[in-house]
Structure 1
């Protein structure tokens, strides 16, 4: 299949994606141009590894969860053999969605339009009015007449990723050091596994998907965007003497000055991935003692200490997944259009951890990430203002100079000079350019 690697602007002139990214700045069209968005869906979301879901969402044979990989609706399902498959959510007969619901249980899958049915691995099971196909080229055993399996699927410690492209870097090559954060979340479970808690928080942002990802490594904004909210959280904690404030404790930290945020560590990795180390003090209190004892029993004392010492706050696995280990959360983006992005926030249970850890994670999600939150509402407004400003034809460039002369190479990765550096944003757009210009 040949995919176009350039677009045309409103005047009909060629729009070369490579020309939109420079060493320390990015052209506004990388964010707002609809033709660029169309290329992204083909060249990034149509080729990269995309997060689908977690195996705990489909514990029994016949369970399924539906989502999108790029533009393609998909079904993540567990078959009777126990294996997890990611299938195109499209009947091969007339193209209808087979599973319109977000999740459920079905054995077999049956298309409501003409009654074709399929097994959990996608194989065609039965076709009504079978005699009507006699003497035709239709072959019920041909895999093309079943629900098509995505060409590449990877289960990494319960997290399911898939790619629409049959060829390309294997999962571990693509993920590289981006797996450090994902592995750390699982390692923090005393029983060695994590589990999704309930459903996710879902919000449609009125901005380009890359504006959200920019913000995930931007410590500088917290002192301004979240200032009033953070001060209110501090006063609430002081006035009510809340012992386990959940998301309020993180919210209160956001009142710091830029100098405080500068103490974070930012490390950018090949492929656009990054790590942010911050906001994760070691567990304390009676439940924390129980937790640490469970961790040492499972991992050994030395290994448990090393796991808990890794205080990742945000970890990006470009282009769709942001882990927040300290909050037991994961943020997943599903681009809708150049100016709309679906955000899903999932909360995880650390199996074997005290019940209070579950309550704290859910409380943190409700306070900081639900549609009626006190933290992300500030962010959503700032994202909208950025996108609205970039739609102005008089605007040309987004500036990413901060800290560029203080970047420190760390093997194949780059460490920012301090936590206010824009190193992760620069790195992400360099990876974006590579995707958009790959042949």
Structure 2
């Protein structure tokens, strides 16, 4: 039996966490089947009979909205012989039909029809063979599911992170948030390597030098993430926030400030469309995204201006989904600019994502060199005074506070 507690110390974790397949298998059971896991945004299932396929750890699920507007998260597995009943990423339907033997289910998971049912010796109890439904709750548009029926309410699990979710959603400029599209890729590395990255400002000026070089001088100053008095804060339950641009924490603040030169053209386009000055300023300020990354343990980040979702595939393989977000019903020009900014950094041909993925792959490769070495997470000096919530552990923006928070939650769950 693995001694999980011995693998996580206060300031370091053992390399085995990246490469031991047996540990990975235990993580899928002890963590991903025992906590709240993000599965979708509410705008992914905007109307009755809409659905999106997703995962809870390694388990395929379908997120649906029924005719009464209730959201369900259903195991994507026919109750007959286990075939998946939905392979489409997103869409609209009133029924899921298993392609193997034709069993059909409603979007609420109820078994509707069994072909040639007389072939069974006794009449099937349809209620007994519905699609398995997970406990599902939502906070400010974020939909989570869990296998654990007696778990604490989602709001309690999120705790202090709720404040930061609310701030992140102000990117809607008052219109509401909607997903604009997504792209997926895989890297040959452990899921926790990416989890660490979300609150790692230390790497930014090094790994993302090409991105910084691509910016105009004004924007480059904005992205001087190590020089603006930011911080990293442990929010409890493995969650953390990394504030890189304190001036962009609350997008409803400072709306009277001069419009940045890089958004001057957008501002004029919005004025030409007839938007008043208050709307123009609100939209322009929202377009650039928030000034922080919020890590929600174990699988999703609200990262400046997009959702980053990780899915563990194997001990040395992880799938990443980048979800672009915009304003639901907001100006077309504003959402177009958000997509262009997303493409510039997060997109598959952007300046940020390929460099990040190269770093993650190198970590996994290097982890094979030495079985008894440790991953160091001891970086950090005190956060600027008065910025973090009282009683919270916090460090300066380049601290590894968020990583330590995540691994302490990992330790709690793996030893529970």
TM-score range normalised by the length of the shorter chain: 0.7 to 0.9
Change beyond 3 A, Cα 1:92–1:259: closer
**1:316 Cα offset (Å):** 0.5
8 Å contact from structure 2 (residues 346, 353) kept in 1 = yes
2:251 match: none
TM-score by length of 1: 0.82
* RMSD over equivalenced CA pairs, Å: 2.9
Corresponding residue pairs, total: 393
1:106 paired with 2:84, answer no
1:148 paired with 2:126, answer no
**1:186 Cα offset (Å):** 2.5
Task: Note the residue ranges of structure 2 that are not aligned, 5 or more in a row.
Answer: 249-253
Q: Secondary structure at the match of 2:53?
A: strand
Deviates more, 1:105-114 or 1:347-356: 347-356
Change beyond 3 A, Cα 1:341–1:437: same
Give the whole-Å Cα distance in 2 for the aligned partners of 1:57 and 1:406. Answer: 37
**1:346 Cα offset (Å):** 0.7
**1:166 Cα offset (Å):** 1.3
Give the whole-Å Cα distance in 1 for the aligned partners of 2:184 and 2:277. Answer: 33
Q: Secondary structure at the match of 1:185?
A: helix
**1:81 Cα offset (Å):** 2.0
1:269 paired with 2:235, answer yes
Query: Equivalences for 1:5-404 in 2 at 5 Å?
Result: 14-135=1-122, 138-140=124-126, 142=127, 144-150=128-134, 152-191=135-174, 193-197=176-180, 199-231=181-213, 233-234=214-215, 237=216, 249=219, 256=224, 260=227, 263-279=229-245, 281=248, 284=259, 285=264, 286=267, 293-294=278-279, 311-325=290-304, 327=305, 329-351=306-328, 353-403=330-380
8 Å contact from structure 1 (residues 190, 295) kept in 2 = no
8 Å contact from structure 1 (residues 186, 192) kept in 2 = no
Give the whole-Å Cα distance in 2 for the aligned partners of 1:191 and 1:86. Answer: 28
Give the whole-Å Cα distance in 2 for the aligned partners of 1:382 and 1:121. Answer: 42
Give the whole-Å Cα distance in 1 for the aligned partners of 2:100 and 2:308. Answer: 35
Q: Secondary structure at the match of 1:211?
A: helix
Give the whole-Å Cα distance in 2 for the aligned partners of 1:357 and 1:395. Answer: 51
Give the whole-Å Cα distance in 1 for the aligned partners of 2:280 and 2:136. Answer: 31
Give the whole-Å Cα distance in 2 for the aligned partners of 1:277 and 1:271. Answer: 18
Q: Secondary structure at the match of 1:18?
A: helix
Change beyond 3 A, Cα 1:24–1:407: farther
Give the whole-Å Cα distance in 2 for the aligned partners of 1:18 and 1:171. Answer: 26
TM-score by length of 2: 0.86
